[in-house]
């Protein structure tokens, strides 16, 4: 890191999704030049778009174009998605099978003045609803 007097830095980087897709689709060809990626020539009835570098089409791309910084931050305020954990769990041998009575009991116990999104903010409730919809 030049700003730290040449000391190593811990910034995470990765290869871009665009580069991964180009490798997957066989657009990049083997190259002995370690600083450049080379775009192969198009085969008959195939179209490979031009890449513009400094407003000029080229088949030789600097590898730096495909390196992206990984977002290594966290939100200032963490907001939980699931704020309730009152709906009966699935696959508990000591508890009876979940049913519609559990659904009624859950919604009776959740305050009705809460916004609708938060009334449904229980992971096991959402699993139950999804299973019920699949069986319908």
Mean of the pLDDT values across residues 43-58?
90
Confidence of residue 72 (pLDDT cuts 50, 70, 90): low
- The pTM assigned to this predicted structure is 0.47
**Six-digit token string for 113:** 């003045």
pLDDT in tens, 4-37: 787 887 788 899 999 999 999 999 998 888 899 9
pLDDT in tens, 105-133: 999 999 989 999 999 999 999 999 998 88
**What span, in angstroms and rounded, lies between the C-alpha atoms of 43 and 96?**
63
pLDDT in tens, 82-110: 999 999 888 877 877 888 899 999 999 99
One DSSP character per residue, 68-127 reads: EE------SS---S--B--SPPSS-TTSPPP-HHHHHHHHHHS-TTS-HHHHT-BHHHHH
Closest CA to 109 of 79, 82, 84: 84
């Amino acid at each position: 890191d030049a700003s730290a007097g040449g000391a190593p830095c811990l910034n995470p980087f990765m290869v871009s999704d665009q580069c991964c897709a180009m490798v997957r689709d066989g657009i990049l060809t083997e190259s002995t030049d370690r600083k450049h990626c080379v775009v192969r020539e198009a085969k008959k009835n195939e179209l490979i778009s031009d890449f513009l570098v400094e407003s000029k089409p080229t088949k030789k791309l600097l590898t730096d174009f495909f390196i992206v910084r990984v977002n290594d931050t966290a939100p200032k305020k963490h907001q939980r998605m699931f704020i309730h954990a009152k709906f009966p769990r699935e696959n508990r041998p000591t508890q009876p099978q979940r049913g519609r009575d559990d659904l009624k009991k859950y919604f009776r116990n959740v305050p009705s003045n809460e916004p609708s999104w938060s009334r449904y903010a229980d992971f096991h409730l959402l699993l139950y609803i999804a299973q019920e919809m699949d069986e319908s």
